[in-house]
Structure 1
Amino acid sequence: MLPASWSAIQLKDERTDHTDPCPYSEVLAAESVSCLNKALCHLKDIWEEIGIPEEQRLQRTNVVKNHIKNLLEMMVKEEESLKKRIVSSIQICRTEMEKLCLELQLPVFQEEEGISMLQQEKNIRTQVEALAKERARRMQQLKDLLEQDQDLCDILCSMPYGIAPDSVPSPEQLENFHQHINNQSTEKAKRYAEFMDLKKQITLHMEELDHIPETSFEKDVVCEDEDSFCLSRDNITALKLLLCQLDERKVENQAKCETHREKIQQLWDRLQVPQEERSVFNEHMVMSKKRNLEALQAEVQRLEELKLLNIRNVTDAIRSEIAVFWEKCFFSIDQRQAFAPYFSEDFTEELLVQHDAEIQRLKQHYEDHKELFDGVQQWEESWKLFQELEKKATDPTRFTNRGGNLLKEEKQRSDLHKNLPKLEKKLKAQIDAWESEQSREFLVNGQKFLQYVEEQWELHRIEKEKEKQERHLKKSKQTEEDMLYGTAVRTPTKRRFLGTTTPNKSRKLFNSTSSMSSATSNSTMRSVYGGTICRSPVPRPPLSANKCPAPRTPGSGKPPHPRLQGCNKENEAQLKGTPVSGALLTPASPQRNFSMASVASTYSEFVRDLSKASNTKIQHGIMNSTTTNH
């Protein structure tokens, strides 16, 4: 057994790098020999003092020699063993290093040259420890990823990632595996959100349908915990299919409920059910759950039974609806009379069934061609409005309207005059397409729509022509009356308040009035409103009247002639804006309205008629004055 000091020396030698051991070891060897010699000499002296015989001295010296020899041999053996351990460790570490490098897919460690065995073993051992740590790190990371992948595979029902759990993965493999886990996690979150949305909709649909989960899959979806549901593609597809089925049932229920509601509303109206009785049923008229559907079905059954007890009233109500749809579909008299049961007075269940079938047919016919009927209805409304505006355009009171109504009406009439042909063109294209598709004619009130439109325009033209002829006839008659009775005919100038005149106009009025008394009886003058006053012929005064030396003033002498006095009163009344009674004066009427343009639709027509009327009156006045003078 080695002493403690030797073990310490051995440990020190193992940890010390001897760069140049030869000189130092020789000194130590010389010191060892010197110590040995000194010890032997000391032993010899001790033995001599003791008096140990020579033989025993030899024996004792031999023992010392053997002891030292054994000790040195043991020490050499220990060092040889140490050397073997170092060599073995180097070999083992080298083998382990090569294995780790192969597993970790790393290049083999290149050993340094010219170093001691101890340093070589230390370097290799350090490298092996580092490689072992890297291997352990990778394996732990792989283990964690495998656990995550297994959890995701269990939830998503997908295949595990293709990597061996007992092999050391490379950094690239670990990175790819990690990316796969991220993708799977994203897919899980996406499917989970989709699952929650589908589950919410399915739950709502089941509540609306009063549907209780029956199959195990439906129970798993509605009753089980969300985290335990398998988010496989098949399950997501099955969820969508289940939702689609429930949605179809919901739509079907809603359609049934809506049909029943329409039927109930129809029967309520036909049977004249009071509002109090209807309001009790309000809940079922809005919601479409299973119990609502059952309640609606029961109500329809009850009303149908009640309908059979009130066949006449119900039939009359259906006939009213049929008449409304006849108007909407523009049916002609012949088309309406073609439905003979409408005019039957034998109220039976069969007659009611025929009316039900007819109203359904009319509703379907209207819905199928609603766009065309709406277009025709739009044309009808526009045409009526156009005719109203055309009629207003001939109204003489339109010039006295305030607020810009005349301008608005003219603009609206102009827009309609432009838009009506465009609408007719659009309807023509739609009707042509419809007739080509249906292989029959599109009729409005028993005739083709375009023919109907042409007739309306032709009637409008004839009516305008008739009105024009009536205006000309009326103006001619008015002109004759004016020439016969001296009625004033005024043309409108700039509109101002009645009774207001300018100083110049007043002066002209005074001059014209003064000259009227001294001028010829059939002369003409301008009124304060810009109109022409035509004087009727009066008898010439007797010759004795010319003997007066000085002209008479209007305020002295004999009163004016009754005829002249009536005319003057008429003129004064016109200037003041008030009517004057008398046999020779005609009352103000809408036909006259102080204007010859009261029946003119445009300003140019008004000017043309005014010119003709003025020329005619002047010619008649000249002829009358000539006849009277003669």
Structure 2
Amino acid sequence: MDTSKVSSLEELKDLDMDFINDIGWAKVMWDSLQACLKKSFLNWVDTVLTMSQNEDDVKEWRSTFMEQFEDRCYELVTDIRELHEQVLVNIEKYLNKTQVLCKMLQADMPVIGQHKLGLYQEQFQLKRQMRELEQMVEARTSEVNQLRSKQLELCKNLGREPILIKDHPLPSLNEISDLKKHIEQLEQETFDRLEKFTTVKGELIEIINLLGYTPSTQFELAVITGEESDFKITEENMESLDLFLYNMKKELNNVKEEIYQLRTKIEQLWNMLDVDFVEREEFRKKYVGDSLNTLEALRLELKRCESLKRANIKVFVDRLRQELVEIWKLCHCSESVRYEFRFFDSDTYTEDLLELHEVQLKKWKIYAEENKDIIALLNKHHTLWDKMIELEQNATGADRYNNRGGKLLKEEKERNLLSKQIPKIEANLLDLAERYQLRYGVPFLTFGNTIESYINNLHANRENAKKLKLSARKLQKEATAINPSTSHMTSKRILTDCPSTDPKKYKYTPRKVFTEPKKNPKQLQVPKILLTTLSKSKRLSVERKKRLDKIRRLSRQKETRDSSTYIEFQNDLSNRVDLRSTINVAVDNETVVKENFKSPARQRGTTPKSVGKKSPNLPNKLTAVKSQIKLIF
């Protein structure tokens, strides 16, 4: 028996048969091996016995049998051990590959041995898991490549730097989700930019058509004439596109503004030059819209008209001076304004003189526009004030007692309405004047006076006119009482030269009522009421209102004292023949004559027989009118 063979069997460890008691397949296999060994051994012995009884031969055959048997037993153990080693190697390999795949996928390693399987089963389990991980890596790699390619395309079109995507390890599921969102944002931004490009391109084409503009740069040509798909919607290109649109809009606005100004100037020059209407219409029809061609044509026309204007400067200066006079009058300017503009009377007709007049006219047009409300209100107040003075004069006229188709009632209604409107307008004027002074630091002037002075002067002149009338009546009565002979002679002369006082035969001529005293120093001198000018800046609106209310209250009280209703006056006039208005000179003289004939009876205090009777010569058409009209006489 070979010692090497024996030594190989000796390498195997000795095991107890008890450890296979609980392993069923091992006990079955052992029983089967024993039966096979017994049967094969007995057959081998039987064959050997039949072949030879020689001990040397049997020893040799026995040695061969044992040697081969030991070799086969060792080979069987070696084979299974080699398989065991291979399984261990495979498990290690699968584990390493699984670990690499998990790192690529940024996933956790699977738990090994949790099911307590044998090495061979664990090998297959690891192999299956490894295959699944490989498929996941392959799928994720493909998805990442697609996302990377899509991102590169979008970023290239948008002109942006793409987000770096690594292959080792591959992005996790969360990172892939974020990457998809990022790509969706890029797609949305691409869509928005394309939509904006389409819109802007449409606007640009419209503006270019309006202006007749020709693209000059390569970028403008690419935008206007190129395909939308060829345009790179990078941030730089989009900024250039916005700038292009801004410049075109600005150019359009500038062209429109310049065209409007040119048309205005040309119209003014046409009016100055008296250009034929047909020629104007032909030019307007030929050059319409806001194109650059129209702009250039208007520039040439303006240049031509200005050349003609320079040849006719004197005519234009005279026209501008007429317009200045009108605008000064509109703005309630005094003569000092004209004197301040020292070039108004200049006879050196140059372009500079013409330009100075144009600037002055423009200045006052702006002033009129900015203060149109206060100017309009002043004009309205002036109109209403004149109407009120006219009504007051009509109320003191000689024919005020004649019923002129109900005119008295209409005039009384107008007076009542004006007495309400004028104070409101005056309050508004004072308020506007105060705002003007706060805004500009100077008072608003109407023909050289402040609005407050203007209003105070109007009321003062009105009061002066009333006092002059009362003083004239008083002096006339005093003169008649002092020199009755003169009055008697004058009355006789008037009665001789004038027709009868019968209203049917004699028509009274109403006396003119002067609102201002005459300037003759020999006549009655009535002291003027001097109104102190209040402070222009510190006077409060409350004080002005109190002052105006006081003036109006005194005026109303005066009117109440000096007036009576129409019915009372007519009844008293009917009962007392001796009373006549001092307004009409003829009527007053006639009254004086009648007083001379009846004076004794009156001086004694006796009552004439005609008292209480109506005068047959007086008209009674208005006696039936029921009114409370107040007449000032």
TM-score using structure 2 length: 0.61
Could you say which residue in structure 2 is the equivalent of 1:586? 504
Do the aligned partners of 1:89 and 1:121 also contact (CA within 8 Å) in 2? yes
Partner SS for 1:108: coil
Could you say which residue in structure 2 is the equivalent of 1:452? 454
**TM superposition shift of 1:251:** 3.3
CA, structure 1 residues 214+434, in 2 after alignment: closer, same or farther (shift >3 Å)?
same
**TM superposition shift of 1:447:** 4.0
Structure 1 residue 102 corresponds to structure 2 residue 103: yes
Structure 2 gaps of 5+ residues are: 1-19, 476-499, 511-557, 579-605, 613-633
CA–CA distance in structure 2, aligned partners of residues 407 and 385 of structure 1: 14
Report the residue type matching 1:249 in the other structure: E
Per-residue deviation, residues 582-604 of structure 1 (Å, max 9, x unmatched): 99453899999xxxxxxxx9999
CA–CA distance in structure 2, aligned partners of residues 623 and 195 of structure 1: 109
Equivalent residue in structure 2 for 1:419, among 410, 421, 425: 425
Could you say which residue in structure 2 is the equivalent of 1:295? 297
**TM superposition shift of 1:470:** 10
Report the residue type matching 1:23 in the other structure: G
Report the residue type matching 2:460 in the other structure: E
Report the residue type matching 1:361 in the other structure: Q
Could you say which residue in structure 1 is the equivalent of 2:173? 171
Q: Map 1:510-525 to 2 at 5 A.
A: none
CA–CA distance in structure 2, aligned partners of residues 312 and 120 of structure 1: 118
CA–CA distance in structure 2, aligned partners of residues 69 and 169 of structure 1: 58
Could you say which residue in structure 2 is the equivalent of 1:90? 91
Could you say which residue in structure 2 is the equivalent of 1:508? none
Structure 1 residue 625 corresponds to structure 2 residue 609: yes
Do the aligned partners of 1:260 and 1:296 also contact (CA within 8 Å) in 2? yes
Q: Map 1:58-137 to 2 at 5 A.
A: 79-111=80-112, 112=114, 114-137=116-139
Report the residue type matching 2:214 in the other structure: I
CA, structure 1 residues 615+194, in 2 after alignment: closer, same or farther (shift >3 Å)?
same
CA–CA distance in structure 2, aligned partners of residues 626 and 214 of structure 1: 110
Could you say which residue in structure 2 is the equivalent of 1:546? none
Do the aligned partners of 2:103 and 2:169 also contact (CA within 8 Å) in 1? no
**TM superposition shift of 1:69:** 9.4
Could you say which residue in structure 1 is the equivalent of 2:497? none
CA–CA distance in structure 1, aligned partners of residues 412 and 64 of structure 2: 154
**TM superposition shift of 1:225:** 3.3
Equivalent residue in structure 2 for 1:434, among 436, 440, 460: 440
Could you say which residue in structure 2 is the equivalent of 1:553? none
Equivalent residue in structure 1 for 2:282, among 280, 283, 292: 280
CA, structure 1 residues 399+355, in 2 after alignment: closer, same or farther (shift >3 Å)?
farther
**TM superposition shift of 1:298:** 1.6
**TM superposition shift of 1:263:** 1.6
Per-residue deviation, residues 366-413 of structure 1 (Å, max 9, x unmatched): 315632354223322343145436756868889958xx9997995576
Partner SS for 1:280: helix
Per-residue deviation, residues 111-156 of structure 1 (Å, max 9, x unmatched): 2253222321232223323333333343333333322322232123
Per-residue deviation, residues 49-95 of structure 1 (Å, max 9, x unmatched): xxx9889xx99999999999999887766655543433222111222
Q: Map 1:66-465 to 2 at 5 A.
A: 79-111=80-112, 112=114, 114-283=116-285, 286-308=288-310, 313-336=315-338, 350-351=349-350, 354-367=353-366, 370-385=369-384, 387-388=386-387, 391=390, 400=406, 414-436=420-442, 443-462=445-464
CA–CA distance in structure 2, aligned partners of residues 124 and 240 of structure 1: 61
CA, structure 1 residues 425+146, in 2 after alignment: closer, same or farther (shift >3 Å)?
same
Could you say which residue in structure 2 is the equivalent of 1:520? none
**TM superposition shift of 1:320:** 3.6
CA, structure 1 residues 248+40, in 2 after alignment: closer, same or farther (shift >3 Å)?
same
**TM superposition shift of 1:363:** 0.9
Equivalent residue in structure 1 for 2:571, among 600, 614, 619: 614
CA, structure 1 residues 120+340, in 2 after alignment: closer, same or farther (shift >3 Å)?
closer
Do the aligned partners of 1:335 and 1:446 also contact (CA within 8 Å) in 2? no
Could you say which residue in structure 2 is the equivalent of 1:539? none
Do the aligned partners of 2:91 and 2:126 also contact (CA within 8 Å) in 1? yes
CA–CA distance in structure 1, aligned partners of residues 227 and 561 of structure 2: 89
Report the residue type matching 2:433 in the other structure: L
CA–CA distance in structure 2, aligned partners of residues 295 and 214 of structure 1: 22
Report the residue type matching 1:388 in the other structure: K
**TM superposition shift of 1:292:** 0.7
Report the residue type matching 2:359 in the other structure: Q
CA, structure 1 residues 92+316, in 2 after alignment: closer, same or farther (shift >3 Å)?
same
**TM superposition shift of 1:464:** 6.7
Q: Map 1:470-485 to 2 at 5 A.
A: none
Partner SS for 1:414: helix
CA–CA distance in structure 1, aligned partners of residues 133 and 184 of structure 2: 28
**TM superposition shift of 1:264:** 0.8
**TM superposition shift of 1:626:** 7.7
Could you say which residue in structure 1 is the equivalent of 2:620? none
CA, structure 1 residues 110+66, in 2 after alignment: closer, same or farther (shift >3 Å)?
same
Report the residue type matching 2:264 in the other structure: E
CA–CA distance in structure 1, aligned partners of residues 267 and 25 of structure 2: 123
Partner SS for 2:431: helix
**TM superposition shift of 1:430:** 0.6
Do the aligned partners of 1:253 and 1:288 also contact (CA within 8 Å) in 2? yes
CA, structure 1 residues 362+317, in 2 after alignment: closer, same or farther (shift >3 Å)?
closer
Report the residue type matching 1:254 in the other structure: K
Per-residue deviation, residues 164-204 of structure 1 (Å, max 9, x unmatched): 34422223322333333333344444444444444444444
CA, structure 1 residues 198+366, in 2 after alignment: closer, same or farther (shift >3 Å)?
same
**TM superposition shift of 1:223:** 3.4
CA, structure 1 residues 132+626, in 2 after alignment: closer, same or farther (shift >3 Å)?
closer
**TM superposition shift of 1:291:** 0.6
Do the aligned partners of 2:87 and 2:123 also contact (CA within 8 Å) in 1? yes
CA, structure 1 residues 426+341, in 2 after alignment: closer, same or farther (shift >3 Å)?
closer
CA, structure 1 residues 465+134, in 2 after alignment: closer, same or farther (shift >3 Å)?
farther
Could you say which residue in structure 2 is the equivalent of 1:497? none
CA, structure 1 residues 23+389, in 2 after alignment: closer, same or farther (shift >3 Å)?
same
Please provide the CA RMSD for this pair.
5.2
CA–CA distance in structure 1, aligned partners of residues 255 and 608 of structure 2: 94
Do the aligned partners of 2:426 and 2:455 also contact (CA within 8 Å) in 1? no
Most deviating of 334-343 and 164-173: 334-343
Counting matched residue pairs gives 483
CA–CA distance in structure 2, aligned partners of residues 272 and 211 of structure 1: 34
**TM superposition shift of 1:266:** 0.6
CA–CA distance in structure 1, aligned partners of residues 432 and 44 of structure 2: 144
Partner SS for 2:109: coil
TM-score using structure 1 length: 0.61
**TM superposition shift of 1:43:** 12
CA, structure 1 residues 424+376, in 2 after alignment: closer, same or farther (shift >3 Å)?
farther
**TM superposition shift of 1:295:** 0.5
Report the residue type matching 2:134 in the other structure: A
CA–CA distance in structure 2, aligned partners of residues 216 and 191 of structure 1: 20
